[in-house]
Amino acid sequence: MDLAPLPASLPETVPFTGPETLERMQGFPFRARLGANESTFGPSPLAIKAMEQAARDVWMYGDPEGHDLKATIAARHGVTSDHIAVGEGIDGLLGLTCRLILAPGDAVVTSEGAYPTFNFHVAGFGGTLHKVPYQADYEDPEALLAKAHETRARMIYLANPDNPMGSQLAPQIIEAMAQNLPPHCLLVLDEAYGDLATLPLPQIDPHHPQVIRFRTLSKAHGLAGLRVGYAITNPALARAFDRIRNHFALGRIAQAGAIAALQDTAWLTQVQDKIRHARQSLTRIAERNGLKPQPSSTNFVTIDCGRDAAYARAILTGLQAQGIFIRMPGVAPLNRCIRISLADDATLDILAEALPRVLRSL
Amino acid sequence: MDLAPLPASLPETVPFTGPETLERMQGFPFRARLGANESTFGPSPLAIKAMEQAARDVWMYGDPEGHDLKATIAARHGVTSDHIAVGEGIDGLLGLTCRLILAPGDAVVTSEGAYPTFNFHVAGFGGTLHKVPYQADYEDPEALLAKAHETRARMIYLANPDNPMGSQLAPQIIEAMAQNLPPHCLLVLDEAYGDLATLPLPQIDPHHPQVIRFRTLSKAHGLAGLRVGYAITNPALARAFDRIRNHFALGRIAQAGAIAALQDTAWLTQVQDKIRHARQSLTRIAERNGLKPQPSSTNFVTIDCGRDAAYARAILTGLQAQGIFIRMPGVAPLNRCIRISLADDATLDILAEALPRVLRSL
């Protein structure tokens, strides 16, 4: 069957290879799953209970308006529900956002080495990507803005805290950026790791016509496999998702689990404490092995291995052979690093035991 | 924020208003939920157990390849996994299919009164809908084919068994249709109700270049709120979904629940028996009240109320005031009917008790 011209031009890419695929290829399961920034601390027990209860009611569709979930999110952020859109993870919402904003050929600006799934969606709707380099392992707001003005971009993508580097920009920098956007340009602010930030997040008027912020339940809330993300933006843009979204996509278990997780703020605080502890542990493991851990505002630590991409890749491959799943940035100069998710002590102990052996073997 | 021209031209439609929205408007909950063709018989207890187990592991993303789920589906249908695509319900897959096939302005053929969510996705990707009337409450394959030839359509949509009428075409009719498609035209065969059919389903070579069949876990398997659907088609088209899909969209609970549900064939047989029993019960309820139930090959019965759309609408509204949620077809002449989901005896008893009162009040 011949495809339409745009999809016919796309590769059959997968932005990320899942650990299950690697397990099938290598023929044994991972002992430590530290590559996808999942939370070994798990979701709130109240969320598990809510999902179990919802499993009994799952013969019913979920509320296509996501009314109660949006109300819970809105209350958390001090806005009204009409500022909120919900969807199948930030990934799903990024796809819908690209579809809403981009006509084929439209320019989009991001950083060289930033989130590949965003690039996948831009290409998927015919946008043209323009990339600026990271500046000393931070995304570079001035370069992003300059490139956006130069290319008359319709979107700028910025993850803050950043993935894959774990760095965070000061709130004032993002606030200034929001005030200096080119006309017709949307600032796509990916705050997937916002719950784990070490600096305050920027204060941006939720009525700002050109900013959309994304949050997820996949990271601090430990619900990666549930697929719930949300956007905070002005009401007109939030409502625009209704034009194109899959209205029943957020199922009954997903909505119930997300609501319970968001309401259990005590659990979130505990996870934040555990993440701080794990950051110190992982930092020490890296340093003990002569590697250079970067400051982290996320649930992973990016570790500079001090040499080239081939060396970082060899460490990754060596750890994988030891049953430890990690990932690394995809482009230079970031790919001198490896990226390891934070986890409980038992899981990090597996890494601590294997890493020296892998390094000695190289 | 100005949207791209295509989404800017779309209305903020919702293809279906959910029962939760109606409950919020009317201020009380439904006693009987008989409008969305959900299964009050619920999912397999083994599926519930699998979902509960997966809820504990939900801190991990689901397998982005859906490897085990695809293998389970493939085994059920006697094909290999490369014929299968999985997604967030048939709704999600219909959207992706439109995106793969349609360029703006491309013609698409469907029946006047057929599934509105398909039309929503066609419009969403700029397709032009051409509609042919039902023929005596059946979709009309000859008219669909003729219109597709006339308009050089890229897609024909056909639900078999049909929603909203519950009718089913003989397998030979669909098989003949698949042999007489215009070039470049994809037959989108929506078999959401295939597990509840009263006639055999058509036999179509799974390598057929121009046919894609859709199945869902939402109906007979009682997992509407889980959001799992799948496509059976030729490997090239199945693989094409990888170009554009949200790779992590099928979460861990969704995959685990769907696999367990598909494996519990004994439960499916029980549900099919219960559906046959409920069909007889609902048929009798309609006949006792002087209404004309149509033959059903689905998990609902469409009931001809014998007068015009206003009368059918009045019955629907009257039942709603009694706490009973049903739906009705959207266009003439189908909208002389109401559509009521099959359910357990206790739920149908609520209907049996309320319906005569509603009819007397009109």
- ipTM of this complex: 0.97
C-beta of residue B247 within 8 angstroms of C-beta of residue A92: no
Residue B74 token pair: 């493939």
Average pLDDT estimate for A339-356: 98
Which domains occur in chain A, in start order? 13-42+266-361 (3.90.1150.10), 45-263 (3.40.640.10)
- How many angstroms separate the CA of residue B172 from the nearest CA in chain A? 23
Look at A225 and B92 and tell me if their CB atoms are within 8 Å: no
Which of A92-129 are b and which e, b meaning 16 or more Cβ less than 10 Å from the residue's Cβ?
Answer: bbbbbbbbbbbeeebbbbbbbbbbbbbbbbbbbbbbeb
Please give the residue of chain A at the shortest CA–CA distance from B40: A59
Q: Which of A14, A222, A249 sits opposite B59 (nearest CB)?
A: A222
Say which residues have a Cβ less than 8 Å from residue A280's Cβ, sequence separation at least 6: none
Q: State the pLDDT at residue A13.
A: 80
Contact B183, B155 (CB under 8 A): no
- State the pLDDT at residue A78: 98
Q: What percent of chain A has pLDDT over 90?
A: 98
Percent helix, percent strand, percent coil in chain B, to nearest 5: 45, 15, 40
Are B212 and B189 in contact, with CB atoms under 8 Å apart? Answer: yes
Closest CB from B103, B242, B249 relative to A5: B103
% of chain B with per-residue pLDDT over 90: 98
Among B43, B67, B227, the residue with its CB nearest the CB of A251 is B227
Residue A45 predicted with pLDDT over 80: yes
Look at residue B25 and tell me whether its pLDDT is greater than 90. Answer: yes
Mutate to test the interface with A, among B9, B60, B86 (most CBs of A within 10 A): B60
Averaged over B183-187, what is the pLDDT?
97
> What pLDDT score does B145 carry?
98
| Mean pLDDT, residues A330-343 taken together | 97
Q: How confident is the model at residue B295 (pLDDT cuts 50, 70, 90)?
A: very high
Strand, coil or helix: what is A16? Answer: coil
Q: Is the confidence at residue A14, as pLDDT, over 90?
A: no
Over 90: is that where the pLDDT of B13 sits?
A: no
Q: Which pLDDT does position A16 carry in this prediction?
A: 83
Smallest CA–CA separation between A98 and chain B, in Å? Answer: 9
Do A82 and A239 contact (CB within 8 A), yes or no?
yes
Q: Which of helix, strand or coil describes residue A166?
A: coil
Mean residue pLDDT of chain B comes to 97
Amino acid at B286: A
A226 and B61 within 8 Å at the Cβ level: the answer is: no
Query: How confident is residue B57, by pLDDT bands cut at 50, 70 and 90?
Result: very high
Tens digits of residue pLDDT in A46-82: 999 999 999 999 999 999 999 999 999 999 999 999 9
Q: What is the pLDDT of residue A12?
A: 86
Nearest to A246 among B65, B92, B243 (CB): B92
B118 CA: distance to closest CA in chain A (Å): 11
Q: Band the pLDDT of B225: cuts 50, 70, 90.
A: very high
- The set of residues, in sequence order, having a beta carbon less than 8 Å from that of B28 and lying 6+ positions away, is B323
- State the Cα–Cα distance between residues A117 and A99, nearest whole angstrom: 14
Map residue A215 onto helix, strand or coil.
strand
pLDDT at B12: 86
A167-193 mean pLDDT: 98
> A290: buried, middle or exposed (CB in 10 Å: 19+, 13-18, 0-12)?
exposed
Give CA–CA dist B149/A39, Å, rounded: 54
CA–CA gap between residue B340 and residue B351 (Å, rounded): 10
- Among residues A356, A294, A279, the alpha carbon closest in space to that of A324 is found at A356
List of chain A residues whose C-beta atoms are within 8 Å of the C-beta of residue B240: 3, 7, 12
Residues in chain A: 362
Looking at the DSSP bridge assignments, the partners of residue A213 are A189, A232
Q: Do B56 and A63 touch (CB under 8 A)?
A: no
